[in-house]
Amino acid sequence: MGIVKISEELHEEIRLASQVMSRSINSQAEFWLKMGRLAEQNPDKPFAQLIQIELEQVKKKQYESSDN
């Protein structure tokens, strides 16, 4: 785990969003980072489709781990 320096303004936005989404500040920042990366990798896909892709990957990992 590393340290990422961000502006106070962005930290405040993350803090507020984390309260609305019932996530920790770190979890909210990680979510935004992950979704930003996915959006850059898939510029033709809407946000809802990116969420669906992530959900399918989580389900696949759970299925694979239950087979072991």
Judge contact between 15 and 29, C-beta under 8 A: no
Mean pLDDT of all residues belonging to the chain: 93
The model carries a pTM of 0.78
38-59 pLDDT, tens digit each: 999 999 999 999 999 899 999 9
Domain limits of the chain? Answer: 8-67
Tokens of 32: 């935004």
Torsion of the alpha carbons at 39, 44, 49 and 54, rounded to the nearest 10: -40
Predicted local distance difference test score (pLDDT) of residue 67: 78
